[in-house]
Structure formats: structure tokens, C-alpha cells
Structure 1
Amino acid sequence: MTTRTLYLLCSAAPPVFEIAGVVEEAQRRGWDVCLGLTPTAADWLEDSLPGLAALTGHPVRTRYKRPGGPDVWPPADAVLFAPATMNTVNRWALGITDTWAVGVVAEGIGKGVPMAVMPCVNAAYAQHPQFPLSLETLRSAGVRVLYGEGGFVPNQPGEKKPYPWGPALDAVDGMVPVHGA
């Protein structure tokens, strides 16, 4: 029986195509996974959305609910935003909540929800002066940033490397132990 709820939020970066396997691994680790996507990630996975909803047992969320509408997910015990593009990281750090997924994590800071983010940017994007400022803003707000050694290390533009999903799941496991363990 799963006892912890993980909001797994994803931006449109190539590792999002591996998300079904990541959901299954999180479930093996005792998480009830709720999957949320940025609009572009949802577009990329459009044909897979019904299967992902069946896999998680929850609707895949991509947009804000209407005022007064019911919450369709249980409350989060932890949030993992991975992969997180430079756009997502910067919008989150700057409080620009024009997408539902970024709104969830921006509000999560104020709610004190344990959160981790693992970027997925190439080395050229990582050189933009705003990116390290945004990572530091999130760290100072209590978000576990999985970037650099032990997390995501940027690749050269066009280079393909495996995305380190294991350390991302390890991070949220460490933030919220299994209930009763």
C-alpha cells in the first residue's frame, strides 16, 4: 500500500519521454504518483496521456482548475520537478505562474511542501546569467536543487546523455520517509 503522494511535474525536455518508467519506479518505491506537465510537455506526450493517467490512477494535470472546482489529486507529500527546462526554472524563481505546473511549485514554497528540482539544460543555456541566479533563488527558498555533481550535469548542445532519474527519486525519498518505517 502506498502511503506517500508525489507530484511529479515535467517540462518539455527529451527525458520526459521516459516518464512512464519513472512513474513505475516511483511506485515501486512506495509513492502514489500524480503526473503534471507543462503545456508543451503535454503536447509532446499527447498520445500517451490516457495511458499515463491509467498508470498513475489520477488524471494528468496540465492546467489550472476552474475556481470552485474540485481538487482531483490528493495533497502532495513531496514534489519533484524533473526535467525542468531553463524556462521553467527561471519562471519558478521569478514567480511567473502563467502555467499550472509552475504555479504549483511557486505556491508549494509558501506551503512548505518538500520539493526538489532537477534541471535539464545544455551547457550553452547554463551560461545565461539568469540561470545560476534562479537556481540560487530556489535553493534559498528551501528547494532541493539537483544540479551539478550528484544531479544533472549539462551536456553540450545536441549531445545525448542519460538523465539521472535515480538521484532525483532518491532525493524525494530522503525528504519524505515511508510512513510507518
Structure 2
Amino acid sequence: MRTMREHPTLWIQGSTSASLEGKTIVLAVTGSIAAVRTVELARELIRRGADVYTVMSEAASWILNPMALHYATGHEVITRLTGAVEHVEFCGMSGKADLLLIAPATANTIGKIASGVDDTPVTTFATTAIGTGIPVIIVPAMHEAMYDHPALVENLEKIKCWGIEFIGPDIREGIAKIASNEEIVLRVERLSGSGELSGRKILITSGSTAEAIDPIRILTNRSSGKTGVELALEAYRRGADVTIVHRNKVGVAGIKEIYAESASQMTETVLEELNCGYDVLISAAAIADYTLDPADTKIRSGGELTLHMRPTAKLVSKAREKYPDLFIAGFKAETGACLEELLKRAIHTLKTSKLDLIVANDVKSGGIGTEDNEVYILTAEETDHIHIKGSKRVIASALLDEMIHHLMSRK
């Protein structure tokens, strides 16, 4: 229920997810032109449940009026330190802040942090947070030549040795540009999260495969890969080392991506990658059930065409045979099956493929290429099922919750 004194900005709090619920984040802004990006960055953090406060250097206020960040966060902006000792209130011992996010960070500010210089509100917040041991993330933004200066390179390495995380920058057009808001928010979620998958290696297959007919044409399916991507992102948020094998692109620095086009390429890639010591395989890809020998040159158009298809190998069966102790989750998609029949077929696949967990859904009315889905999660140990309906991010979260429960029970 909204109160009369609640700032209207806070009405969006938690509207996207609850991944940062209960977290207090101090967003420290310095004098880079990238400061204009922080209004939307603050709101994205709030949409995930965070309470965001901002502190600005004087140089930052020349670029972005503090009123903009007051609007964005619902809280007065700290532009100078007063008798309220704001740096101690938020970043001191028993302070309010769970994390200090310095975005954007200029070369000047990075140099001062490395040297322990406190002559702006931002650098004083940084020194206090580092001394207290509060997590700190720094997001550089400056001209590329400044980023390449030997002194700055040394400062970056020095600060990293203190356990402080850096995000970006994205080097383009001669500028070390600030990382995307999406990447910043994801890293904040990971650093502020439970870390319950920390130390775990998870391999995810995602999206459709494509079987070549000739050098131009392919056979594929309607899978968008959205569920696989959401699984990769959610596992990353929870601290896992994540690898995704697919034909798409996530583009997140901390997630390893391997391209595989055909069913055989995906199967061979996954079996080889699993040699690197993974804890979990989530086979979310819609891997082709049939393939063919492609023509060496383009098949001329016109007239009827007959294709001779043969079955492909089942990835999950191959993985189970080679890695008997690996936790494997699979997916079972059907069309037009009643619930009883859908669950029956899913249980059959669960047992015959020796899976630990399976996600079943009927895609006739939706699910492929959509933003949401309705699924049923079943495990080898339990006779009942879990019913989830919602966004694919919600489904990914529920699947990982169930996976973690069973991984912990193995101990």
C-alpha cells in the first residue's frame, strides 16, 4: 500500500523482479558524459527491488543536474558531506549500504581511489566502503587514450588486487564507453545475490539447431532460445560458472558461449566440453530429431524434392552414458496432449534417458518464441510435479530452485 509521502518513483520498485529486494545500493556518479546514463540505470536497479541512493562529485553535477537523480531514485542526492557524515551512514561499520556502485568512473576518480585520496564525496564514499569491506563495483568510462595510460593501467590492477570488481569498459569509436545498463545490473545481481551456485559449473544448450540441405537452405524449428538464455542468466546471477551452447548470442562478459549449428555439432561440442568438469547439464535446446546428407551445391528450384532423413543421436542419452554422475535436466515438448498424457510421456523420457529432472510443456497454444510459458517440472525422486506459469525468467528461477534442492540432497 502506498503512503502519502512515498516518492512516485518508488511505485516501480520490484516491478521487474525481486532479485535485489531488501538491498540498499549507493550509486556514485563522477564527471563523465556517461553520467547521463545513470537515470535509467538507477531505475533498472529499483525495478528489481533495490533501494537506491546517489552521491555525485561536483564535476558530475556539471553534466547531470542532481534533480534528475533525485527523481530517478526518490531520494535526495548527496553532493557534499555534512555533519550527518553520510559516507559513514551508508558505507561505514553497520552502514546502510549493501554495495557501492561507481558508475561512471573517470580516470581521475580511479586514480584517487587507488591512492586513497578523498577530496570529493564519491572518493570519500569509496575509501570508507573499501575500509569497511562493503562490496564495490567500478564501471570506467573515458577516452580510450586515457584508459591506456600506464598509470591508469597500474591503478586498475592495484584496485583489482583489493577484490574490487570492474565492469567494462566497451572500447568503441576511440572511447572506453560505459558498459551497458543490462550488464551492470546483472553483475550487481550476481555480487549481491545468494551465491548459492558459487563454485558450480553449469552447461546449458539452447535454441534450435539447423540441418543443412545444401549450402543455402537449412531445416530448423521454431525454438527461440529464450528459455535457455534466461537459464544462463539466472545461473550466472546465482554465482555459477556458466557455458551456453547455441546459435544465438547472449553477449555477457561472464558467460562463456560456444557456437554449434547442427544436432551433431551440438552433441559433439557438449560431450567434449563436459570433459572440463561440469556439475550440471541443462539440455534446453530443441535439437533436431532428424538430419540428412547435404548437397554440395545449391539444389535447383522447381519440381518436387525428396529428402532422405535419418535419426540423430540423443544428446542426453550420450551424456548420461559418458558421465554417469552428472546432474542432467531435460525438456519435453508436446502438442495437443492432455495433462495426464503430457506427464506420462515426460516420466517415460525421464526414466528411459536416466535424467534427474525434466521440464514438460504443451507448445500448441504457446511457449515457442513467446515471452512466457506454462510448464511442469518433474524429478526422478518425486512422484508429484511442480506447475509453473509465467515469464521464462520465472520458469528459469523455479527450475534452478528445484535443481539446487536436489544437488544439495546429494551431499
Which TM bucket (shorter chain)? 0.7 to 0.9
**Secondary structure of 1:154's aligned partner:** strand
Where in structure 2 are the equivalents of 1:34-45 lying within 5 Å? 34-45=53-64
Residue 170 of structure 2 contacts residue 179 of structure 2 at CA under 8 Å; is this kept in 1? Answer: no
CA distance in 2, matches of 1:102, 1:155: 27
Regions of 4+ moved over 2 Å: 49-52, 69-74, 153-157, 159-163
Q: TM-score, normalised by structure 2?
A: 0.39
> What's 2:69 paired with?
52
In the alignment, structure 1 residue 166 sits paired with structure 2 residue 191 = no
In the alignment, structure 1 residue 177 sits paired with structure 2 residue 193 = yes
> What's 1:133 paired with?
154
Residue 33 of structure 2 contacts residue 63 of structure 2 at CA under 8 Å; is this kept in 1? Answer: no
Q: Which runs of 5+ in 1 are unaligned?
A: none
In the alignment, structure 1 residue 115 sits paired with structure 2 residue 136 = yes
Between Structure 1 and Structure 2, the one with more helix by share is 1
In the alignment, structure 1 residue 76 sits paired with structure 2 residue 93 = no
Larger RCO (alpha carbons 8 Å, 6+ apart): 1
Residue 45 of structure 2 contacts residue 185 of structure 2 at CA under 8 Å; is this kept in 1? Answer: yes
CA distance in 2, matches of 1:51, 1:85: 20
Residue 12 of structure 1 contacts residue 41 of structure 1 at CA under 8 Å; is this kept in 2? Answer: yes
Q: How much does 1:134 deviate?
A: 0.8
The count of aligned residue pairs is 170
Amino acid at match of 1:22: L
Between Structure 1 and Structure 2, the one with more strand by share is 2
CA pair 55-135 structure 1, distance change in 2 beyond 3 A = same
> What's 2:81 paired with?
64
**Identity over aligned pairs, percent:** 26
> What's 2:24 paired with?
5
CA pair 130-26 structure 1, distance change in 2 beyond 3 A = same
CA distance in 2, matches of 1:121, 1:160: 5
Alpha-carbon deviations, 1:4-44, whole Å to 9, x = none? 00101111112211221111111112211101111111122
The structure with the larger Rg is 2
The root-mean-square deviation of aligned C-alpha atoms, in Å, is 2.3
CA pair 125-65 structure 1, distance change in 2 beyond 3 A = same
More moved, 95-104 vs 56-65 = 56-65
